[in-house]
Structure 1
Amino acid sequence: MALSPISFRFAVPMDPHVAGGTTRRSSRPDWVFLHKSARISGHRNATTAECHTMEGQPIQVSFWLVDPPGVSYFSVNCPGLDGKDFADEPYILCADAALVLFSVDFVPVSNRTFKVTDPRCIQRFVYRAGPGKPSLHLIPDPDVVRPHGEYAVLPCGDAGSSEHYAVVFLQRRWILDDHARHYDLHLFSSLTREWSSKGTLPGLSEHDQKLLAVACHVTYKVIKVGASSLGYVDLSSGILLVCDVFSECPVIKYIPLPASRVCNMDEEGDLYIAPEHCCDVSSCNDLIKFVDVEFDDRDRRSLGDQGWKATTWNRDISWDDWRVRSSVNVANISVDPSYSDLLPELWNDKTNELELKKLVFYTPTLSKDDDDFVYVMSKLNCEDDKAWVTVLT
């Protein structure tokens, strides 16, 4: 389960065996909270896998796993390079089952053969945790004129036993004087190590095109839906759903987020606050899940000590609408008094209770199971280095 990096940064230096102050796992956990951005570190463990970049530079990747609600993370190391050789932190693009697709943005230097504007500065890799020994593979760019688009990874066959996968590249195709959105789909096979094209996807209706024209879709995350469909999620508007990626003729459709959700736009139609702070989308088999958190005063959200309500919706890919699954108000959430020793700042002398609303809440994260769990990153104040994970049910 990937966790947004917006509100959480690891301290430096950090014990390479521990993240989030939780005990390291002696075996591989069934699932973890995985921080989306990596540390640059040469530490290794049993998860370490390596390969080479396009220029033949060795690259190593390791995962540092802890029990939830601790936050696990991954590290990247290129022997001979250091932090200044990376333009940005390596970043997870998509994760599913034992597969993690991530990008590394290198800083061009004089002894490299590509220019600053060359897209090869950004290289993508797939880490496979199993079955068998962990592996790491460089993914070549698709054979298109402008390899800019959305990348995702899907297991082939049984996700728990198959060693093969496909990297999916969704590219918007621009047509002169045509403002409609057309998308081409390309697949990279780990078996053949080659790209193939599915061509332009049919399916976007005139109604979908109108919604997209208003929404200006920007992908924040990619989720797997069912066995072979992908949802490209814009947390401020909706989901581009590419159905049956491996079929002869995949189709694409647009699913707007619930109309009754809180609108995070200002009077001019611009994003008022980062949508990752307030909502999340996840999936379980054919079920898409959405959560939205409404604060009493959005201007004071980062200060805490205010009311809020979290509402979750469900939508099966065969349905035509979203259905409210649950709603919880912070005023109705009770906190075990035993936590008063850990969080005395939450104590209310008048009510003799701990008040959860005093925490500053960030980045709600939905469970990938068919349940009512919402995990929320929280702090006593926004300047704190330590963060807590609160589980709402």
Structure 2
Amino acid sequence: MSLCSYCNASLRAPPESRDAQEDERVSWDWGEALIDNVAYMIQETNHTTAYFPFTTLSGVKEQLQVTFCLLPPPHISYFCISYTSGEGTRFVREPRILATQGNLALICVNQGLYPFPRSTDYNFFVYHAPIRGHETPTLQLIPHPKPDFFPWNKYCYFTRGQTGILLRYRTSSGNKQQSPFTPPTPTLSLTHALARRHKSPFTTHTNKEELDAFKIATLCTRFDESGITHYDLFSYDSKANWTCERTTFSSQERPQSFASDRVIMVSGTMVFVDLSHGMLLCDLQQEASPRQLRYIQLPKPVQPRDNFPLCVSSSSFSRDIAVVDDRIKFVDLEIHCPSSQGLPYCWTAVTWSMSVGDSQFQKDGEVKSTDIASSDAALDLGSLFVAHPSLSSHHADILYLMAKPNLALGDPDSTILAVHMKNKTVERIAKYTTQRIGTMDFAYMLTTITKYLAPPGDSKANIRKRGPASLGGTSRRKAPAFALKSGLVQMEEEEEDHSNKPPAMDDYGDNMDLE
């Protein structure tokens, strides 16, 4: 009996993998991408490929490799993960991207052998995109915490929608102030006519050790004897290992119920977002103990709950949140369903924004589908049902929408629209086959890791690689090799290979098996 639960479509490249036209690729500034967060278990290699060497407990020397196959939005990019032996079906289920921030991506891989997963069946890797031109991508394995570190013997420490990444920050010297690093933003646009203001994001640092760590964090609920809900911050720090911190609220306002399904970072503050209710803001730069949480309610839903039940099945179906120009921006989508067959679909997108220090959102504006013009004469917005709004964090006025001609279960055909809300136009469209999901489930995420992954020959790659020599840098530290099977690992030192070629099997060190 097979314990695998992956989709057969994950064993071949997506059908739109070569759909982007040459003019789209040339005009793309690599500022952001929409990426399928579920892996394709196939072997593909390019300049983004990162390798992770390990030895199985049976003594077989093996490699894990991760490759990003990136397309200009609104095309859906994808990532591939495989063993270099080519045995893609050795995964129990498809690996997933849980979060991205800056040049980092957190990837969850289930390599267990049991029908009921244990915490050690999940391995978490941090993909490091290169900051400088002479560097190559790397994979780093997150060590497991001590047993029972998480409450309720939580089997998966980090989950999608509940995990955030704080970028490189300062741990050296007596100054503990954390200083997240952000990359330079190219000024080219989604289309040649679409411009974006550019602000220099750099703070100059002279000591290359100042920005030397990153942190991954998640919130877990805890109930005291009186039934009050508390939120504990569990985090992995690349310098300090695993920690658990108690939190308290800075004001009397606190959520009645909260289930995070988005995490964003703004100005050193990690924002856990329940798209149905509100946000918990945790300033990771402050040193106070316990850490302070601040709760801010989201604007009330514009979609009547009794008007279209499908919209309440998932908050991401009609709502999204992002950081745009250092402000938190929120969008809510109201879908006007036709009263009878043959009438067009209509929708209204409403946006709000706030700075991290504000106490509430301010309405920015709204756009109606009936006011939107399309550059594609064949596109009939009234014939398409839209959902899953995704706010661009790179182009302030762009909203991505998934659209389908019908909601029939098993219909894989869909379209991704790039809507310019200010100009009220559909800038571009792209086909997307939802072959691994049922109907209109959430299937992709927006990422800006592309700023670090432009091809070496692309002139725009030089834009993102400018910056102080202190940011990043190639370390001559030895890279670890591991024994890995069913989540069990053994670390051993091995010389780091700075080329983008898979290390030779004969170069692996002898690893001790773990029982």
TM bucket normalised to smaller:
0.7 to 0.9
User: Secondary structure of the residue that 1:141 maps to in structure 2?
Assistant: coil
1:308 CA drift (Å): 1.2
Which residue pairs with 1:388 in the alignment? 416
Q: Match of 1:334, as an amino acid?
A: A
1:253 CA drift (Å): 1.8
Is the counterpart of residue 142 in structure 1 residue 167 in structure 2? no
Deviations 1:157-183 (A, max 9, x none): 423398844232334252442422222
Contact 1:22 1:67 in 2 (8 A): no
Contact 1:42 1:77 in 2 (8 A): yes
Which residue pairs with 1:207 in the alignment? 253
Distance 1:171 1:308, change over 3 A: closer
1:58 CA drift (Å): 2.8
Correspondence for 2:353 among 292, 295, 314? 314
Which residue pairs with 2:225 in the alignment? 177
1:200 CA drift (Å): 0.7
User: Secondary structure of the residue that 1:368 maps to in structure 2?
Assistant: coil
Distance 1:206 1:265, change over 3 A: farther
Distance 1:75 1:134, change over 3 A: same
TM-score scaled by structure 2? 0.61
Q: 5 Å matches for 1:27-176?
A: 29-52=30-53, 58-80=63-85, 82-108=87-113, 116-131=116-131, 132-143=135-146, 144-146=149-151, 147=154, 148=157, 150-157=162-169, 158-160=181-183, 164-172=212-220, 174-176=222-224
Which residue pairs with 1:283 in the alignment? 323
Which residue pairs with 1:293 in the alignment? 333
- CA distance in 2: counterparts of 1:298 and 1:185, whole angstroms: 45
Report the RMSD for the aligned CA atoms in angstroms. 3.6
Which residue pairs with 2:259 in the alignment? 218
Contact 2:39 2:81 in 1 (8 A): yes
**Unaligned ranges ≥5, structure 2:** 1-7, 170-180, 184-201, 203-207, 422-515
Distance 1:145 1:296, change over 3 A: closer
**Unaligned ranges ≥5, structure 1:** 1-8, 110-114, 347-355
- CA distance in 2: counterparts of 1:390 and 1:55, whole angstroms: 45
1:270 CA drift (Å): 11
Contact 2:12 2:42 in 1 (8 A): no
- CA distance in 1: counterparts of 2:81 and 2:392, whole angstroms: 27
Is the counterpart of residue 332 in structure 1 residue 374 in structure 2? no
Deviations 1:171-207 (A, max 9, x none): 42524424222223344333x3x41536212226443
Matched-pair identity in %: 23
- CA distance in 1: counterparts of 2:364 and 2:92, whole angstroms: 42
Larger Rg over CA atoms: 2
Q: 5 Å matches for 1:251-270?
A: 251-259=292-300, 261-264=302-305
Number of equivalent positions: 356
- CA distance in 2: counterparts of 1:323 and 1:362, whole angstroms: 23
Contact 2:43 2:86 in 1 (8 A): no
Distance 1:279 1:20, change over 3 A: farther
Distance 1:274 1:265, change over 3 A: farther
By relative contact order (CA 8 Å, sep 6+), the higher-ranking structure is: 2
User: Secondary structure of the residue that 2:389 maps to in structure 1?
Assistant: strand
Which residue pairs with 1:3 in the alignment? none
Q: Match of 1:41, as an amino acid?
A: I
1:273 CA drift (Å): 2.8
Contact 1:16 1:43 in 2 (8 A): no
1:255 CA drift (Å): 1.9
- CA distance in 1: counterparts of 2:79 and 2:418, whole angstroms: 22
